[in-house]
Amino acid sequence: MSHEFDVIQDEEQFVNEVLFFQSERADNSKYKDAVAVSYLTEEQLSLYEFSDISARFKTLHLMKEAGIRGPRNGRDQDNKEKFKYYSIRIENAARDIVPMVAMKYKCTDSIDYKCLHFNDIIEANPLKDSYVTRIYKQ
């Protein structure tokens, strides 16, 4: 649906963030698709608690907490100024597993190695509207 969020973050590693981007599936450019990002160990990948279904429920929970609602469903009969809304509906399209980069390098006196998340690099970049940032947001 259409909403003002680009990202929702959580403290836990399972569904750590939900990234929203312009949908290429719909003719209307205001609709967004979502990607839920988790940081899991090899063992956690095969556990039910970290399955696609659990990720879907946690993603729905985070979206509801943020105030995202489904499509409008008429007016409230008791208060005509309020609207009713359908529940949020999301479907799983795919599950991609991307291995984390292991820390292979050690810091020295002349080199300081930092393993930063891509979001941190983008946020620290003074050129937030750069070509790389626009590509990443798509």
pLDDT mean values, one per 10 residues, the chain (138 residues) = 81 91 72 88 91 93 89 81 85 84 69 70 65 66
Q: What is the pLDDT of residue 136?
A: 65
The token pair at 94 is 């795919």
CA 75 to chain centre: 31
The token pair at 34 is 């979502």
**DSSP line for 1-26:** ---S-SEEE-SSSTT-EEEEEE-SSS
Place of tokens 């569904």: 15
